[in-house]
Structure 1
Amino acid sequence: MLSFFSFVSSVFPQDSINETPKEVKKAERIINRLLRKKRIPGIAVTVTRDQQTIWQKGYGYADLEKEIPIDPQQTIFRIASVSKPLSATALAKAVEEKKIDLDSSIYDYVPYFPRKKYDITLRQLGGHLAGIRTYKGREFFNKKELSIREGVALFEEDPLLFEPGTDYAYNSYDWVLISLAIQEATGVPYANFVNEKVLLPLEMTHTFPDENNDSIPFKTTYYSKRGKRRFRRAAKVNNYFKLAGGGFLSTSEDVARLGNAYLKGEFLPVEIASQFTTAQMVNNNSTYYGLGWEVSFDQKNRPYYGHTGNGIGGYAVFRVYPDQNMVFSLLTNVTNPGIEKEIDKIIDAVLDKISPSEKLAP
């Protein structure tokens, strides 16, 4: 693993390796401004290049009252919809093992799902092309202990928004239904399947289902904003029912491990992985979404795949830049902080100095 100053000297040439380069100082100034203005309680940053960690640091606090610092290797955050790429990887494993066919009907795996006017495939569900609705009422703030099957029951009787394949509607319930299909197809509880097929092989040892489980160490305190410059503890919610779409906990280091598994290209066959990280088309227009992965371009027109997550007590940004062979994983412990522009600037501070063909010095 490269040290922080090895990263500095190899990526940002300078006269003295003991001096933090201006590009990283700029990124840290943005983070410190967010902390000083109390827009976030804390943030964990992990950046890798060529499967090596080149910048990893925690800023602010995991618990403000106790002044517990953030450790990007250990502090556990709610990653919200960054759960979808993790679930997509589990689905890809089920495809690789021929337990699931992406173009098969959902009724092949969940025959008791109420019949709709149109058939629905797993591929359509994975790309948000199935016409399933998003949250309504207080579902996003659910406090009940619901199983995945009970989560599907929340929306299963509702009509489709459109004929599958004809439009795009982002939601987490698509992935709740996929996780139920994986359970039925494999005969293994969904959380166990993810653990066996993804978390253990990738050594993501600090990634867990978001349950009311106080035995998980190093969990951050979850916050919401109270006014412009104050935080309060976030409302209690139970996210297990939507585990696949927004219910995992993780560290910034573990999330980066997932991105590097795709860059390395050995964890999944290329012909399967590429289906997940290629944007789907509707009426000859890109949805900028693959299967469980956002597939888009940043403000400098650099291609990436990844995901953004926004949940109660957590906000996460995960990007994989294949041209630069880099992964960015940034996790915060507050609901909807509204820091999208600042995150772009933090990422730009590093990427603006790197060309796609440039390699780290040995």
Structure 2
Amino acid sequence: MHAALRPLRPLRTGFIAAVALVAPLVFGTGQAQGQALPLAEIHAADDWSQAIAEARAAVRRVMIENNVPGASIAVGVGDALVWSEGFGWADIEQGTPVTPLSRFRIGSVSKTVTSTAIGLLMERGQLDLDAEVQEYVPDFPRKRWPITVRQVAGHIAGIRHYRGRENFSMVRYPDVTSGLEIFAADSLLFEPGTDYSYSSYGWNLISAVIEGASGTDFLDFMRDEVFEPLGMRSTVPEHTDSIIPHRVGYYENGIGGAVVNAPYVDNSYKWAGGGFVGTPEDLIRFGRAHMGPGILQQATLDELMAPMTLADGESTGYGVGWRSYPQDDGDMAVGHSGGSVGGTTLFLIVPEHDMVVAGVINVSGPAGEIVQSVARIFEQAVRGR
């Protein structure tokens, strides 16, 4: 059930327009696995008015300083979505403002939402993190050393990342296994478990593992087992030939910082690694569902989020699709960042403050600075309550 949303008068600073929604949403608690989180309107926005005002100012400042066309930010505290607001332009040429309905590329946050599929299959006894990947993807070439699902998911398997402009691919891949051909024949960078090297291609392989373990098409599994149960109805794969309502335009900063259109790309080679579009509100729903047992058991959450350790005992700061982020006040957040052609994202869960923060922009740029600034403001507000 969707909440009634009440738009406010647009706010403008320079070329930045903001369209605000301040009718917060309440998340149901104690939901059984596979059950959507119900939403209902509440009227507590005034309790957060000072924090929202400070956060708006911080967002606008960073956008102006960095020439960011459009941004969308959401904050959840406890069971409530206390702030969700769009800033600037979803489409500059058409003069379309960003609203909380605007869909942005979430980039590598796609890895985090895909991690839930891994957890579900683990709990069903269909996937073993410490099995070799060929257990689920028999056609993937064996390397000098065996590689496990856990190692691939934690970026310690030695699978390479992009080379050159590979992330500007314009090729449409019909399925996840066809996308493996980009890197499948390449040697590993190091012996698995001995080093950390971030690899979106590794998560291409993870999507094939999920298909092999579940016997289900990867995108169908994500829709039916993750997005629908969590009410994430704005999160979809970005098929280039599909009409996707509220999809934003994608931009980059050209010569002298001028905003120009980002080049065309087709992300069908990397759905799990960075191919989904969505909204900050959906990421708040997702984050709230992972702050305690619900769609996944607590033991599973702990295993997915715990940073991995290399053979020499060094922590990587990265689990199974979840990164750890030390905060200024000494607390630890978990989540993920996402960099895309024409988009940047940061998604954080801050357990100590029972808070989730997510922000997206439609240019390569300072989404992390925006989200961290907003998180600090709301952390202070939570401590003062």
Answer whether TM exceeds 0.5 for this pair.
yes
Moved over 4 A (4+): none
Alpha-carbon displacement from aligned partner over 1:140-166 (angstroms, at most 9, x marks no partner): 110000232122111111111111111
Alpha-carbon distance in 1 for matches of 2:368, 2:210: 33
Alpha-carbon displacement from aligned partner over 1:112-161 (angstroms, at most 9, x marks no partner): 11111111111111111111011113211100002321221111111111
Alpha-carbon displacement from aligned partner over 1:226-251 (angstroms, at most 9, x marks no partner): 23442111101011110001110111
Structure 2-normalised TM-score? Answer: 0.85
Do the aligned partners of residues 339 and 212 (structure 1) sit closer, same or farther apart at CA in structure 2, a change above 3 Å counting? closer
User: Is the counterpart of residue 139 in structure 1 residue 177 in structure 2?
Assistant: no
**In the alignment, what sits opposite 2:38?**
none
Aligned residue among 75, 87, 106 for 1:47: 75
User: Is the counterpart of residue 246 in structure 1 residue 274 in structure 2?
Assistant: yes
Whether the 8 Å contact between 1:37 and 1:229 is mirrored in structure 2 is no
User: After superposition, where does 1:217-232 map in structure 2 within 5 Å?
Assistant: 217-232=245-260
**In the alignment, what sits opposite 1:179?**
207
User: Is the counterpart of residue 315 in structure 1 residue 344 in structure 2?
Assistant: yes
Whether the 8 Å contact between 2:292 and 2:298 is mirrored in structure 1 is no
**In the alignment, what sits opposite 2:44?**
6
**In the alignment, what sits opposite 2:314?**
285
Alpha-carbon displacement from aligned partner over 1:184-234 (angstroms, at most 9, x marks no partner): 222211000111110110011111111113421110111111234421111
Do the aligned partners of residues 339 and 96 (structure 1) sit closer, same or farther apart at CA in structure 2, a change above 3 Å counting? closer
Do the aligned partners of residues 208 and 228 (structure 1) sit closer, same or farther apart at CA in structure 2, a change above 3 Å counting? same
Alpha-carbon displacement from aligned partner over 1:228-281 (angstroms, at most 9, x marks no partner): 442111101011110001110111111111101111421101111111111111
User: Is the counterpart of residue 96 in structure 1 residue 134 in structure 2?
Assistant: no
Alpha-carbon distance in 2 for matches of 1:250, 1:343: 16
Deviation at 1:342, TM superposition (A): 4.2
Aligned residue among 163, 166, 186 for 1:158: 186
Alpha-carbon distance in 1 for matches of 2:69, 2:145: 46
Whether the 8 Å contact between 1:176 and 1:241 is mirrored in structure 2 is yes
Specify the code of the residue in structure 2 equivalent to 1:320.
I
Do the aligned partners of residues 342 and 248 (structure 1) sit closer, same or farther apart at CA in structure 2, a change above 3 Å counting? closer
User: Is the counterpart of residue 195 in structure 1 residue 223 in structure 2?
Assistant: yes
**In the alignment, what sits opposite 2:141?**
114
User: After superposition, where does 1:62-81 map in structure 2 within 5 Å?
Assistant: 62-72=90-100, 74-81=101-108
User: Is the counterpart of residue 274 in structure 1 residue 302 in structure 2?
Assistant: yes
Specify the code of the residue in structure 2 equivalent to 1:347.
A
Aligned residues: 345
Do the aligned partners of residues 103 and 235 (structure 1) sit closer, same or farther apart at CA in structure 2, a change above 3 Å counting? same
Alpha-carbon distance in 1 for matches of 2:328, 2:341: 27
Whether the 8 Å contact between 1:78 and 1:247 is mirrored in structure 2 is yes
Alpha-carbon distance in 2 for matches of 1:196, 1:3: 29
Alpha-carbon displacement from aligned partner over 1:270-295 (angstroms, at most 9, x marks no partner): 11111111111122222111100112
Alpha-carbon distance in 2 for matches of 1:91, 1:213: 28
In structure 2, stretches of 5+ residues that fail to align are 4-21, 25-42
**In the alignment, what sits opposite 2:152?**
125
